[in-house]
Structure 1
Amino acid sequence: MALGTAPAAANPKYAGIVIDAKTGKTLYAHEADQQRYPASLTKMMTLYMIFEALERGKVKLDTRVKFSANAAKEPPTKIGIGAGKSVTVEQIIYSLVTKSANDASTAIAEHLGGSEAKFASMMTAKARSLGMSKTTFRNAHGLPNSGQVTTARDMAKLGIALREHYPRQYKYFSARSFKLGGSTFGNHNRLLGTVRGVDGIKTGYIRSSGFNLVTSVVDRDRSIVAVVMGGRTGASRNAQMKDLISRYLLKASTRGSGNLIARGAVSNMEVASSAFELPRVGPIPERRHDGDARIALAYAAPTPAPVVGREALAKSLQAQKIAIPIPAPALVPPMPVDTGAADSIDPVTTASTASMSGWMIQIGATPDRDSALKLLARAQNQGVKALNGAEPFTMAYAANNGQLYRARFGGFDGQASAASACKALEKKGFACWATAN
């Protein structure tokens, strides 16, 4: 079965499309009109709204955006701005494009819309005006919400609209890194600089969506926008995208005016009607954040301990009012065979519960599971390349005076890579050691 041409049966998460950006012709489609969860592809619309506000003079690039307590407490990935502090609109843009920062998304949503809910309504209205008939937004960042849905075709439309409507601002999508204070954040889009013609746009991942990617390609006189949603890993998603580009870029027209997406009306790109029942993912509770827990580091010896099970962790998270996705049945995906480690893109560490084996690293142990997850999130926020593809998880450990929870990363391909990750984290001030289960 040829990759990118004939859909394999039955991975309910996968959807893909390739659009000729000059003519609007669909060059490839699989489940392109079936609803999926956008994850951080949501930030494409957040950025569209920012670009529109800039064009209309509502904000300037140097306008300061203050972070509320609500914005500051968003889960990773984030840039870690404290409540009451501010950054510029341009820094918000860079943080969304590269780091895919959830805290920055909420901050700009509150700045432009007055509240997250109001801004989400504005985003949905804008989606309708662009012809994105099957897209609904409930937040500005893409964290789990059962009502936040889209389709591969709608995301392709949004990608084309960003290019067509805001060509000056579109340059931000090609940024390879972004500096803020003493930190440098790399772009999650691994295709930038590695695949000829790729100039953006956005990655996305939550457990209920799988690994998503919208890619724009301009090579000589041809141009396409391609979407892959529901990848099993970041590596297999990227491989599928590369395959689609190699197969369909040369089939794109060398002629055509573009101008496919009208700013305030339904576009002339085709829309097929269909129905699809998404797996249920409970909406984020109104109060999403608990207070900061005290992190007491207790480095336990590497003795065998049971991995915290999904059901036990689910009950705990539900008691804490933290939403977790319910995965769809595991079926055969129409993705290439994964030959590399998974890219950890836009991770939601509160859902990291999978069993681990092989080489892993431990960065601490805490009195409660939530604190262990926070410690893992803090490590992920350091931009350590050696953690790319590593899976954060917790393990229960019976200590003399009670139970501790180990904060670990798994999925390393050997002792050398695990040791390398520890070395990088130790430079960031973390205690770390490598072990094998």
Structure 2
Amino acid sequence: MANTPVQQRQTRWSFGRHIARALSGIALAGVVAGAAQAAPDRTASLIMDYSTGATLYSQNADEPRHPASLTKMMTLYMTFEALQQGRLSMDQKLLVSQFASEQDPTKLGLRPGATIPVRDAVLGLVTKSANDAAVTLAENLAGSEPAFARQMTQRARRLGMNATLFINASGLPNDAQITTARDMAVLGRALIRDFPDFYQLFSTRAFTYQGRVHPNHNRLMNVYDGMDGIKTGFIRASGFNLVASAKRDGRRLVGAVFGGTSPGQRDQLMAKLLDAGFAGTLTAAAPDYAPKRTQVAIAEDTKPAITPVSTRVPARPVGGATITPVSATLGRAAAPVIAAPPPAATAKPVAAKPAPLPAPTKARGTWAVQVGAFSTNANAHKAAETAAASARHALSGGSVSVAEGKDGKGAKVFRARIAGLTEKEARDACQALTRQKSACVAVPAS
């Protein structure tokens, strides 16, 4: 059956749109010319003291990396700002466009022309890391995803994230979309500081949407004492990324880990770094010196804030309906420009190596494997027994135990553990459990 004239126009529009997107990607890739691509060694990490912003430990923290779904932290920052300013409400319905519905997974499966409450879109990002929900928020806030990405980058500059360039709202692969471990730790800290009430949403363990339960991708939060957020990320070019925050004895740390080889390896590194940070055994490292580091600059309106230059964002037609931006004014900005820094006049200093992690000092039998935190002692004991049975060989030297404590919000929790292990036994056992898709972290038991 032949297509109708309307269907033919829609087909041509869709084809033209994909061609335009492809050409845009080629142009951006030509601009960065490989300099902004993640290095072959994708690892990078940083631990920051939340109260002071001081760096406690860093490794490759200023090297360009792909953020993957850590991008959604900025999408949420912009959303929380709109909620705080009254430009959005949690119950407000957002219109889903054809473009948003066509995003690659992970996604909620939103249909074009449908609506989704802001609350569900936010929780979809926090737990499922839903790309269709991210684009829906972007389009409803700024009229289009590219316009929203420009706002994201401008906001990043104002937060002090000077090496970050956002191209989309989801973190889906784009060679030009780059950041650093330091910038993402700064963003994590800003989310906690600027939106303490909304930040609590990052501790959501699971989210139910249209009858389907979506567990939070941040499984480390379920087993690490005091952790209450915030976001994971993965694309092939980045490896497994995580920005996390935990609070113990009134002190909060923020950490960023990039380039993990697996979720389990990434989580183990984050846990080890945070443990050392809380123990006070991390030696402050000088900011990483990277003479070949790419500097990312985006032109911004240089006029005072009291006299902004506004550009009206046109409403975008979607399937017969129209998405009207919640905020229809943008600071005038030129296209993103990536330029290498000018050569230094003085001799290049020798790159400072990050301080090594402290050697284990615990005696045999003082470590444990923690496999979850629960609201009841019975559930914790059952989880510990299940873990002990599933990794019987690796945990043969341990015994099931439950440690009572409090989470980051002060609520009582019961932590399921197999105790009486050496540090090596605990870490080896966690690796075995991780291979079985079980959440796990090695912890000092005393």
1:81 is displaced (CA, Å) by: 1.1
Aligned position for 1:90 = 119
Deviations 1:362-385 (A, max 9, x none): xxxxxxxxxxxxxxxxxxxxxxxx
Distance in 1 (alpha carbons) for counterparts of 2:48 and 2:194: 17
Change (3 A) 1:45 1:12: same
Alignment map for 1:253-402 (pairs within 5 Å): 274-276=291-293
Aligned position for 2:264 = 235
Distance in 2 (alpha carbons) for counterparts of 1:72 and 1:248: 42
**Structure 2 residue 173 is matched with structure 1 residue 144:** yes
Aligned position for 2:144 = 115
**What amino acid does structure 2 have at the position aligned with 1:165?**
D
1:276 is displaced (CA, Å) by: 3.6
Alignment map for 1:34-73 (pairs within 5 Å): 34-73=63-102
Residue pair 1:14, 1:31 contacting (<8 A) in 2 also: yes
Distance in 2 (alpha carbons) for counterparts of 1:111 and 1:271: 39
Residue pair 1:40, 1:141 contacting (<8 A) in 2 also: yes
1:271 is displaced (CA, Å) by: 9.0
Distance in 2 (alpha carbons) for counterparts of 1:38 and 1:209: 7
1:192 is displaced (CA, Å) by: 1.4
Residue pair 2:58, 2:288 contacting (<8 A) in 1 also: no
Distance in 1 (alpha carbons) for counterparts of 2:93 and 2:290: 42
1:229 is displaced (CA, Å) by: 0.2
Equivalent position SS for 1:216: strand
1:248 is displaced (CA, Å) by: 1.1
Residue pair 1:67, 1:81 contacting (<8 A) in 2 also: yes
Alignment map for 1:421-432 (pairs within 5 Å): none
Aligned position for 1:245 = 274
Distance in 2 (alpha carbons) for counterparts of 1:27 and 1:198: 18
Equivalent position SS for 2:162: coil
Change (3 A) 1:134 1:171: same
- Unaligned 5+ residue runs, structure 1? 1-9, 254-268, 279-333, 336-412, 419-437
Deviations 1:393-430 (A, max 9, x none): xxxxxxxxxxxxxxxxxxxx9xxx89xxxxxxxxxxxx
Higher relative contact order (CA 8 A, sep 6+): 1
1:12 is displaced (CA, Å) by: 1.4
Change (3 A) 1:56 1:252: farther
Aligned position for 1:203 = 232
Alignment map for 1:146-161 (pairs within 5 Å): 146-161=175-190
Aligned position for 2:201 = 172
Figure out how many residues of one structure are paired with residues of the other and give that number: 261
Of 54, 60, 65, the residue aligned with 1:25 is: 54
Equivalent position SS for 1:136: coil
**Structure 2 residue 32 is matched with structure 1 residue 15:** no
Equivalent position SS for 2:196: coil
Distance in 2 (alpha carbons) for counterparts of 1:176 and 1:274: 42
**What amino acid does structure 2 have at the position aligned with 1:275?**
K
Distance in 2 (alpha carbons) for counterparts of 1:87 and 1:98: 16
Change (3 A) 1:275 1:113: farther
Change (3 A) 1:247 1:149: same
**What amino acid does structure 2 have at the position aligned with 1:184?**
V
1:24 is displaced (CA, Å) by: 1.5
1:250 is displaced (CA, Å) by: 2.4
Change (3 A) 1:136 1:168: same
Distance in 1 (alpha carbons) for counterparts of 2:50 and 2:211: 39
Change (3 A) 1:272 1:110: farther
**Structure 2 residue 106 is matched with structure 1 residue 77:** yes
Residue pair 1:98, 1:187 contacting (<8 A) in 2 also: yes
- Unaligned 5+ residue runs, structure 2? 1-38, 296-355, 358-431, 438-446
1:193 is displaced (CA, Å) by: 2.1
**Structure 2 residue 206 is matched with structure 1 residue 187:** no
**What amino acid does structure 2 have at the position aligned with 1:36?**
R
Distance in 1 (alpha carbons) for counterparts of 2:281 and 2:84: 31
**What amino acid does structure 2 have at the position aligned with 1:89?**
V
Residue pair 2:163, 2:294 contacting (<8 A) in 1 also: no
Distance in 1 (alpha carbons) for counterparts of 2:133 and 2:290: 35
Aligned position for 2:192 = 163
Distance in 2 (alpha carbons) for counterparts of 1:115 and 1:274: 36
Distance in 2 (alpha carbons) for counterparts of 1:252 and 1:137: 35
Residue pair 2:47, 2:254 contacting (<8 A) in 1 also: yes
**What amino acid does structure 2 have at the position aligned with 1:25?**
A
Report the TM-score, using the length of structure 1 for normalisation: 0.57
Residue pair 1:33, 1:274 contacting (<8 A) in 2 also: no
Equivalent position SS for 1:97: helix
Distance in 2 (alpha carbons) for counterparts of 1:119 and 1:16: 28
Residue pair 1:224, 1:252 contacting (<8 A) in 2 also: no
Equivalent position SS for 1:192: helix
Distance in 1 (alpha carbons) for counterparts of 2:281 and 2:76: 27
Distance in 1 (alpha carbons) for counterparts of 2:208 and 2:252: 30
Residue pair 1:27, 1:252 contacting (<8 A) in 2 also: no
**What amino acid does structure 1 have at the position aligned with 2:265?**
S
Residue pair 2:60, 2:288 contacting (<8 A) in 1 also: no
1:119 is displaced (CA, Å) by: 0.2
Aligned position for 1:3 = none
Aligned position for 1:314 = none
